[in-house]
């Protein structure tokens, strides 16, 4: 499960050191926008050493590289992929970049004796072109297992204002969710940037979940618990799913494909939804 994906500036030794204990499902060690140009080399080596020496437990280890439009991106891949992160996060993703990174990773995996295809790719969709091309971006490599929306860069690219209410990103969220559901990968929502507004964060998470996002990026450890809770099934969801499955089995024994529970129709799609809740509850350890 990727409910929460926490960004950690890759040039900050104490934040990197603490990263495994912050409760996030995925840790994103950032070499791109959180790191100033004169600290890029130092950050790359700090992140490489962290991957070699820290125990991240069950947390997914992701590294956001710089764009391969510059040499920095190639240096990042060569240095980081050789110590086998779980995934590479690709900023301002395009089809061409994902295809090229896929090939570079394959070469490194062969050279290092890693299983071919074991390093995943997560495209960061944060340009208008990337948003319109997101279906092809996901299809361009089997390594792609999730998509992350980057609303700050996207709204800058679209020359529109970014608001807390997020009306301006409704289309972007919906488009990404639709593509991710079609291609069976995770849809991860953009970070909420006011780190002291927990009510705003909660509303933003609920809005994203309602339309199908499966997780959310965080920029501060204090955001992680709220995100994990919203993107886990609630106890009410779990009780409902259990009752639906029990009632469905009973109805089957009576030869009924459709029946009513608490006055609401239950048929095959409702059963599928209930089973999905149970699967998610198992994945996050609620069952």
Distance CA 151, CA 107 (A): 32
Shortest distance (Å) from residue 37 CB to ligand Q5B: 15
Residue 30 within binding range of ligand Q5B, rule CB under 6 A: yes
Shortest distance (Å) from residue 63 CB to Mg ion: 15
- Whose Cβ is closer to ligand Q5B: residue 8's or residue 122's? 8
Phi then psi for residue 278, to 5 deg, are -65, -40
Q: Which of 30, 60, 153, 189 binds Mg ion (CB under 5 A)?
A: 153
What are the structure tokens assigned to 121, written together? 């790719």
Residue nearest to Mg ion (CB): 153
Residue 150 within binding range of Mg ion, rule CB under 5 A: yes
Report helix, strand or coil for 62. strand
Return the exposure string of 52-83: e unless at least 16 CB atoms fall within 10 Å of the residue's CB, then b: eebebeebbbbbbbbebeeebbebbbebbbeb
Is 64 annotated to bind a ligand? Reply is: yes
Residue 128 within binding range of ligand Q5B, rule CB under 6 A: no
Using DSSP bridges, classify how beta strands 26-30 and 4-9 pair: parallel, antiparallel or unpaired: parallel
What Cα–Cα distance (Å) separates residue 16 from each residue in 46, 87, 102, 105, 256? 8, 17, 26, 24, 56
Distance CA 271, CA 257 (A): 11
Shortest distance (Å) from residue 205 CB to ligand Q5B: 15
Residue 44's nearest CA partner among 65, 18, 17, 68 is 65
- Whose Cβ is closer to ligand Q5B: residue 15's or residue 105's? 15
Residue 195 within binding range of ligand Q5B, rule CB under 6 A: yes
Is 126 annotated to bind a ligand? Reply is: yes
- Whose Cβ is closer to ligand Q5B: residue 24's or residue 251's? 24
Residue 190 within binding range of ligand Q5B, rule CB under 6 A: yes
End-to-end CA distance of the chain: 14
Which one of 130-138, 170-178, 188-196, 244-252 is the stretch in contact with ligand Q5B (CB under 6 A)?
188-196
Site for ligand Q5B in 210-229 (CB under 6 A): 219-222
Using CB under 6 A, list all residues that contact ligand Q5B.
6-9, 15, 18-19, 30, 33-34, 124, 126, 150-153, 190-191, 195, 219-222
Residues contributing to the annotated binding site for substrate = 64, 126
């Amino acid at each position: 499960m990727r409910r929460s994906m926490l960004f950690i500036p890759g040039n900050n030794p104490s934040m990197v050191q603490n990263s495994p204990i912050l409760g996030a499902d995925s840790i994103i060690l950032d070499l791109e926008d959180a790191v100033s140009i004169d600290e890029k080399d130092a950050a790359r080596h700090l992140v490489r050493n962290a991957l070699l020496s820290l125990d991240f437990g069950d947390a997914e280890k992701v590294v956001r590289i710089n764009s391969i439009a510059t040499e920095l991106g190639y240096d990042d891949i060569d240095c980081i992929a050789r110590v086998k992160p779980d995934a590479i996060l690709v900023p301002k993703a395009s089809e061409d970049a994902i295809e090229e990174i896929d090939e570079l990773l394959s070469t490194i995996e062969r050279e290092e004796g890693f299983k071919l295809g074991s390093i995943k790719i997560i495209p960061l969709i944060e340009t208008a072109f990337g948003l319109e091309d997101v279906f092809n971006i996901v299809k361009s490599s089997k390594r792609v297992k999730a998509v992350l929306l980057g609303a700050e860069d996207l709204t800058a690219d679209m020359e529109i204002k970014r608001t807390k209410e997020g009306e301006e990103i409704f289309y972007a969220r919906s488009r990404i969710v639709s593509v991710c559901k079609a291609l069976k990968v995770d849809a991860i929502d953009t970070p909420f940037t006011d780190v002291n507004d927990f009510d705003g964060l909660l509303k933003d998470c609920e809005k994203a979940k309602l339309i199908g996002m499966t997780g959310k990026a965080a920029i501060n450890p204090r955001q992680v618990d709220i995100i994990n809770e919203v993107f886990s099934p609630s106890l009410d969801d779990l009780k409902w799913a259990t009752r639906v499955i029990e009632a469905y089995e009973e109805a089957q024994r009576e030869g009924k494909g459709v029946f009513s529970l608490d006055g609401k129709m239950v048929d095959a799609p409702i059963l599928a939804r209930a089973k999905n809740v149970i699967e998610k509850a198992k994945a996050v350890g609620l069952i």
